[in-house]
Amino acid sequence: MGKLKIGVIGLGGRGRFHAEMLASMSKDASFPCELEVVALCDVYQDRLEAAAAAVKEKTGAMPSAYTNENEFLNHEKLQAIIVATSWQTHISIAAKAMKKGIRPAIECGGASNLDECFKLVSAYEDTGIPCMFLENCNYGRDEMALLNMTQKGVFGELIHIQCGYQHDLRTIAQSWEHRHYRLDHHIHRNGEFYPMHGLGPMMKLLKIFNGNRFVSLVSISSKARGIKEWAKEHLPADHHIQNKTINQGDIITTVLKTSNGETLLLTHDTTLPRPYSRGGRVQGTKGIWMEDNASIYIEGVSPSHTWENFHDFIEKHGYEHPTWAQYQKDGVKEGYDGHGGMDYLVVREFAKSAAEASEPPVDTYEAALLACITPLSEKSISLGSHPVEIPDFTHGLYMTR
């Protein structure tokens, strides 16, 4: 497949991670294509220099370094990029790249408005250059096993799914000090602005845009107390957060309905004390799986009305996804992966699709859908939790894709 010349724009925590992981991948003989990290970009010089030095240390070659996104995108060798900038700029940078013939992969984060999502789809349809949503949870071991089981009919016909992002992130009260943008969203917005970790994998189970689609959603917000309570206890009285109003509710609950009749409950819960969970639940006519107690019950297979351990069940019945079975055989790449192996897999599949000039596994239409949930949930909440329509970005093609 030759050599894929790739770059990263946005070199905060996640972007710096990608730059270093790509540099490590370039030395990995088992990687499906040859990589060269040719360019990096960030508005902050110190971040740019640190990431470039890290790439050079791993590869022996210094990538070109830019503080201007247009100069970065004009780098003559770029074939693909990872966009890890602020959420507000993901889609605009991706669309610019597509118009230049560069394949982008965008990191997680919801869109600022619905127009952005349509512009992303238009950029793809005008240029033929796809954008991948870099949803690493699609490649989690449990999520891929569930996909395999669903495809084999283990749960029967799916009826209801639950998922979300449930993660104690109250330290975002200090995010401005670290040049991080997440606090801005809590101050100015109120909606489901991080739906993708839960929704991304579950969309695949529901065959969204492959014979099914989401048609509507309803969102409701709780009051906001978590960030300010944490700040009162842990930060000085004169800290800037003490005088800010938090608009984002502590718990955002969103219910989505599909054209095939399934329901999906999505929860955003990041500003109250709790252990991490994506709150997964898959329920069909033959059984149920739940993440938080790693349990499964399949009627006629499990002991009557008795939960079984999910991981034991997978091993006993051979439901490991073939991708993860091979990954374990080859050696899970945890050495340069922050999430137990899934980051390597999602970036591998992006690079592979770019090198092959094939459609990415989480494609442009799915990217637009994942991103649009944020502004649509904001709209629903602002209307008093009124149902809002979810666009069909495929223009009806979802029925036969």
Q: Above 60 in pLDDT, residue 376? A: yes
Please name every residue paired with 355 in a beta bridge, in sequence order, or none if there are none: none
Q: Above 80 in pLDDT, residue 238? A: yes
How would you list the strands of the sheet with 251-258, edge to edge? 308-309, 295-298, 287-290, 281-284, 158-166, 263-269, 251-258, 214-221, 388-389
Q: Do domains 3-135 and 137-322+364-399 have the same CATH topology?
A: no
**pLDDT at 30 (0 to 100):** 80
Residues 126 and 45: their CA atoms lie apart, in Å, by 34
Helix axes 141-151, 196-205, angle to 10 degrees: 20
Phi, psi of 102 (to 5 degrees): -100, 130
Q: Above 90 in pLDDT, residue 70? A: yes
Over residues 245-287, the pLDDT tens digits come to 999 999 999 999 999 999 999 999 999 999 999 999 999 999 9
CA angle 84, 249, 279 (to 5 degrees): 70
Q: Which CATH architecture has domain 3-135?
A: 3-Layer(aba) Sandwich (3.40)
Domain extents in the chain: 3-135, 137-322+364-399
**pLDDT at 265 (0 to 100):** 98
**Helix%, strand%, coil% for the chain, nearest 5:** 45, 20, 40
Residue for token pair 């003989």: 29
Please name every residue paired with 8 in a beta bridge, in sequence order, or none if there are none: 40, 82
Q: Above 80 in pLDDT, residue 175? A: yes
Helix axes 13-25, 45-59, angle to 10 degrees: 20
Per-residue pLDDT band at 184 (split at 50, 70, 90)? very high
Over residues 32-49, the pLDDT tens digits come to 889 999 999 999 999 999
Q: Above 80 in pLDDT, residue 144? A: yes
**pLDDT at 332 (0 to 100):** 85
Q: Look at the chain and count its residues.
A: 401
Q: Above 60 in pLDDT, residue 14? A: yes
Over residues 287-344, the pLDDT tens digits come to 999 999 999 999 999 999 999 999 999 999 999 999 999 999 988 886 666 688 899 9
Per-residue pLDDT band at 21 (split at 50, 70, 90)? very high
**pLDDT at 331 (0 to 100):** 86
Pairing of strands 132-133, 103-106: parallel
Q: Which of 145, 53, 129 is nearest to 367 (CA)?
A: 129
- The radius of gyration computed from the CA coordinates of the chain, to the nearest angstrom, equals 21
Say how many CA atoms lie within 13 Å of 316 toward its Cβ: 9
Q: Considering the domain 137-322+364-399 in this protein, what is its CATH number?
A: 3.30.360.10
**pLDDT at 2 (0 to 100):** 66
Q: Above 60 in pLDDT, residue 222? A: yes
Q: Above 70 in pLDDT, residue 375? A: yes
